[in-house]
Structure 1
């Protein structure tokens, strides 16, 4: 694919997006600025006596709390450490990453992805790559590094265009980031932010929420996106790329005997672990089973559902450890400690981000600006009569646009959740639906924004097969996936809403406060 001397309108537009996005501050700096902005706004708005009725306490009025007053300054200093520690996703994400980190550092996830892709029939290779990409998000970002080059390599070996294999894998990993057959590391991260935002309107409703709030929709999405991605790749993208005439780089992606043995015993350990854990909730009178209602309610509203992070930790840690012991990548407890330390070291930026984001969210709540903005925003939506499905579509479009400039999914949601979750609750939509709508927009536009952190890495992978591959070229390849996923996924959500199916365990479409 050759670069045009004169850039197309699309390329110029995307270059503009890149320039604007590059001028935005780092997410850590952004949250620090937002926290400071909330403090200043509280001092400006407090004297104006702006007030709304407290949605969580009928008859009581809320006003803006001034954080530059004497008591406000005292709050800033005395709450700073607590704001950091109590940042909802912090403990859950770090605990989850202990398990996922063990599976990743030991080599289990990489071997499992390669083993899956290599084991499928040639005619199902595209579908297998897209599906593997979707499933890879249980390990956060590992799929970005493993699957695109693997997809290119396998397509080249079969005489197909390697960039088609790369794009199919990239589409699955990135655009399918909010679809899976399992709970992923992103679920507790976004879920806790959603629960925290919902508690500003209805604390009792928030207490009944769980991090698997989008699970049913995610499972169905996995099937839909696999089919959609396969069709787009084989019928649109690969024909457009034409016949590959470059030098095919033959590399071995096969599994070593030790890796195959490790995968076998890791699978056995996973099944045994899952079976033992299931006994803690399925058996009558089990310690992690609820006590009220029928069997379904006892499982949905149970200690098990509120402790899914621990389950994720165990189900990744044990197979990862077993794999490491079998393949000799782990030989002693020191290796275990070192691998877990490496995982936590990679979370350093998230920890600093959590400190800054924790202050912003706490200040937003303390000043009552989030609730006031939600109530006022809901009233504005009433005046323009934008509600129902058009409102959800508008929210998806807005979220997708914002994603072009801010790459981090959690950073965006930490800013947006305190505003839009209460606002849409006031319009009768559940926090669970708002989160799913956001995830659709965020995932489908990841593959066309140069500001996504792994975009540059994918370009490097692509340049091994086409030295002229640049930002505009890669985006032009990925745009059909983005548009197709966006349309199909949004239609699926609309149909889901019309049918009134729960998005996850105990997670309805509508909120009746």
Structure 2
């Protein structure tokens, strides 16, 4: 073992990596976890475990009981839902469609040539910050950042002669741990604000939050998290990873004349495509605009949520096609298809992993164990009778822990909002502040949860550059970002709380 490997194995993070990597293959681990959920559900069902909470949408108290997968209904669910769980697994289609386009751009050489052109003499900190920031602002397009920014982060770092896993980690941190921060208002804002307003109204509180309720705070958060993430990448993650010794070695040779011509032609195609898409998206009455009830006007939020993925495919495929035709990589239709086929061939492990991950996530939801955990955690915090800032910080800790088991931001908030939004309102803490605390908790711990929908995909991407990378490698690498973002973001909230700064247009921390 050399000095770098000894350094990597030291300390708390080294211990996490060693223990995590000694776990079975990720596929087997998901099978084992699914089996554990089945056993726990059987015990919980037999003992009649249940919780009661107020459902804002239904306007009534609901009793949620643990559902046993050992029961007749449970066993039927296991067998009858397996295919639907797999085909309906949200990240599966997202990842595969995006990778079709990225595969064309990568196979033709467009991505490598672009990186060679752009990455010469870029300062390390600036490159890290750019990857983090791109990940943060990508959440305006929902989950697209997971399948575009994260693999590109690894390629960008590799193209700059840096460790690709550090680039992947930086992008993952920006996309997932910085999910709620942004410079713009997006679908997530509308969704969470709607749930909060419904929770308040159901408790008889006449209060209406606007979609811009957290805007000022999230703009500042985007800048702060970018700086913190870049520092973690450059000062901790990359030094700990050490020198890259994997098989992926991008060509660092200077661009040839034909490659420059290919870049020029692909840029022309890209500009034409962007202009067409802008015409379809932004003018009043444009094809991709629809009425958004959350803001009472036309918006492209529906397109961003459901239609953007095909647009991303074309964003990579069309310039990739132009580049491939120019440099001679694509000579006929078969070559074009080959680029997509090779991209799909590299996703075989992910498809297998996705099948079992989808079953685990479904079992956890079907048994109601996640809901029971969330309500129990909320009840525990409520019973402590904290007030003011300690209550807000305690809420962040509890919600961050629950986030490890329930990945959906809206599903979690639908459970927690009817409890915490009215409770903190009655303690003179504005719902806008409560929502900020929730968004901090919901984002920061995403990257260390194996139950995150996209976690299996990130692991497969990591193994592309280091075939020895396991869950321990990924969790130990991402834990530094999770801790740093959670602490920094919470401190930022404390500053806002103590100085009474405006959170958004017309929104403050206290009533």
TM over 0.5: yes
Q: TM-score, normalised by structure 2?
A: 0.65
- Residue correspondence of structure 1 range 340-379 to structure 2 within 5 A: 340-379=340-379
Q: Distance in 1 between matches of 2:224 and 2:113?
A: 26
The aligned residue for residue 50 of structure 1 is 49
The aligned residue for residue 388 of structure 1 is 392
The aligned residue for residue 29 of structure 1 is 28
Closer/same/farther in 2, CA of residues 389 and 144 from structure 1, 3 Å limit: same
Q: Distance in 2 between matches of 1:344 and 1:273?
A: 25
- Other structure's SS at 1:283 match: coil
- Other structure's SS at 1:334 match: helix
The question of whether the paired residues in 1 share the 8 Å contact of 2:280 and 2:286 is answered with: yes
- Residue correspondence of structure 1 range 267-306 to structure 2 within 5 A: 267-292=267-292, 297-306=297-306
Q: Can you list the C-alpha shifts for 1:61-99, whole angstroms capped at 9, x where unaligned?
A: 221222212222222211111111111222122222222
Q: Distance in 2 between matches of 1:335 and 1:50?
A: 58
How far 1:233 sits from its partner (Å)? 9.2
The aligned residue for residue 467 of structure 1 is none
The aligned residue for residue 127 of structure 2 is 129
Closer/same/farther in 2, CA of residues 480 and 65 from structure 1, 3 Å limit: closer
- Other structure's SS at 1:76 match: helix
The question of whether the paired residues in 2 share the 8 Å contact of 1:371 and 1:422 is answered with: no
The aligned residue for residue 246 of structure 1 is none
- Residue correspondence of structure 1 range 181-196 to structure 2 within 5 A: none
Q: Distance in 1 between matches of 2:125 and 2:355?
A: 41
Number of residue equivalences: 423
Q: Distance in 1 between matches of 2:238 and 2:358?
A: 45
Q: Distance in 2 between matches of 1:313 and 1:496?
A: 40
Q: Can you list the C-alpha shifts for 1:436-492, whole angstroms capped at 9, x where unaligned?
A: 2235778xxxxxxxx9975996899xxxxxxxxxx99xx99x999998777656655
Q: Does 1:437 align with 2:444?
A: yes
Q: Does 1:330 align with 2:330?
A: yes
The aligned residue for residue 86 of structure 2 is 84
Match 1:113 to one of 112, 115, 123: 115
The question of whether the paired residues in 2 share the 8 Å contact of 1:289 and 1:304 is answered with: no
The aligned residue for residue 151 of structure 2 is 141
Q: Can you list the C-alpha shifts for 1:30-83, whole angstroms capped at 9, x where unaligned?
A: 222222222222221113222223544423322122221222222221111111
Q: Distance in 2 between matches of 1:355 and 1:233?
A: 32
Q: Can you list the C-alpha shifts for 1:222-262, whole angstroms capped at 9, x where unaligned?
A: 755665677789999999xxxxxxxxxxx954222222222
Q: Distance in 2 between matches of 1:221 and 1:327?
A: 43
Q: Can you list the C-alpha shifts for 1:357-384, whole angstroms capped at 9, x where unaligned?
A: 2212222222222212211121112224
Q: Distance in 1 between matches of 2:366 and 2:357?
A: 14
The aligned residue for residue 74 of structure 2 is 72
Q: Can you list the C-alpha shifts for 1:184-204, whole angstroms capped at 9, x where unaligned?
A: 9xx9xxx99x99x99xx99x9
Q: Distance in 1 between matches of 2:276 and 2:343?
A: 27
How far 1:310 sits from its partner (Å)? 2.0
The question of whether the paired residues in 2 share the 8 Å contact of 1:441 and 1:486 is answered with: no
Q: Does 1:320 align with 2:320?
A: yes
Q: Distance in 1 between matches of 2:84 and 2:235?
A: 54
Greater Cα shift, 228-237 or 95-104? 228-237
Q: Distance in 1 between matches of 2:14 and 2:93?
A: 38
The aligned residue for residue 468 of structure 1 is none
How far 1:289 sits from its partner (Å)? 0.9
Q: Distance in 2 between matches of 1:71 and 1:367?
A: 11
**CA RMSD in angstroms, aligned pairs only:** 5.2
Q: Distance in 2 between matches of 1:347 and 1:481?
A: 27
The question of whether the paired residues in 1 share the 8 Å contact of 2:215 and 2:503 is answered with: no
Closer/same/farther in 2, CA of residues 485 and 413 from structure 1, 3 Å limit: closer
Segments of structure 1 that go 5 or more residues without pairing to the other structure are: 153-165, 206-213, 240-250, 400-411, 443-450, 461-470, 503-507
The question of whether the paired residues in 2 share the 8 Å contact of 1:117 and 1:128 is answered with: no
How far 1:433 sits from its partner (Å)? 4.8
The question of whether the paired residues in 2 share the 8 Å contact of 1:117 and 1:132 is answered with: no
- Other structure's SS at 1:177 match: helix
Q: Distance in 1 between matches of 2:37 and 2:238?
A: 49
